Structure 1
Amino acid sequence: MQLGAFSISLSVKNLQASKEFYEKLGFEVFAGGDEQNYLIMKNDQILIGLFHEMFEKNILTFNPSWNQEAQEISDYDDVRKIQKSLKESGIPLAQEADPNGSGPASILLFDPDGNSILIDQHV
């Protein structure tokens, strides 16, 4: 199963303070902005999303149709294929994609410790 680009999406209380902190760790703004209430920050191949007042908990995020540069890739497992495989493995999903759909879609699941995992396809 190819899950694509990985990032952690952090729920932050203060976007500017978080930005400054991660800049001190060598991260640079890659996408987003203050007016959008989120920043995607990058350090080499490591991506961290900082999200202000968008969700409560931190989320492990996979983007099947992207590489670590947020560029589309042509060879990837569609989120519906991943969904089917997870369901066949007995993993319950909190949010499902339309199995007959195409294009952008996402699924949400939780690991045994309650950590959120978002598989978010953009194309």
Structure 2
Amino acid sequence: MELGAFSLSLTVRDIEASRRFYAKLGFVALGGEPADNWLILKNGDHVIGLFQGMFEKNMLTFNPGWDSAAQPLASFTDVRELQRELKEQGVEFVTEVDPSTPSGPGSFLVLDPDGNPILVDQHR
């Protein structure tokens, strides 16, 4: 199962303080808008997202259709197909992508056995 680019989405109290901290670890801004309380940082192949006031918990995030530099992939497994495959395996969903839309942006959220959220978020 190809889930796309991986990142860790962190819930932060102060996005600017977090940006400065991760800059000390070599992370630079890849995208996002601090004024809108989110920022994507990259260090080599490692990507983290900083989100202030958007999520309750840190979560694993996968982006079908993107590589680790947020560049479009020529081919990828659509989020709806991933959802269908996981449902066939008995995975329970917190939120689901609308399967009646054949393609395009969409996301779903599942929890691992310890309650850790996993977001699969397709942007194209």
**TM-score band w.r.t. shorter chain:** over 0.9
TM-score normalized by the length of structure 2: 0.96
- How many residues are matched? 123
Root-mean-square deviation (Å): 0.8
Q: Distance in 1 between matches of 2:97 and 2:16?
A: 34
Give the letter for the 2:85 counterpart.
S
Match of 1:11 in 2: 11
1:64 aligns with 64
Distance in 1 between residues matched to 2:88 and 2:32, nearest whole Å: 36
Please, what TM-score do these two structures have when normalized by structure 1?
Answer: 0.97
Stretches of 4+ aligned residues off by more than 4 angstroms? none
Quick check: 1:114 aligned with 2:115? yes
Match of 2:48 in 1: 48
Alignment partners' CA distance in 2, 1:99 and 1:33: 30
Give secondary structure in 2 for the equivalent of 1:94: strand
Answering whether residue 80 of structure 2 is matched by residue 77 of structure 1, we say no
| Corresponding residue SS for 1:84 | helix
For structure 2, the 5+ residue unaligned runs are none
Counterpart residue identity of residue 116, structure 2: N
Q: Which runs of 5+ in 1 are unaligned?
A: none
1:1-40 → structure 2 map (5 Å cutoff)? 1-40=1-40
Report the identity percentage: 54
How far apart, in 2, do the equivalents of 1:94 and 1:62 lie? 16
Distance (whole Å) between structure 2 residues aligned to residue 65 and residue 74 of structure 1: 8
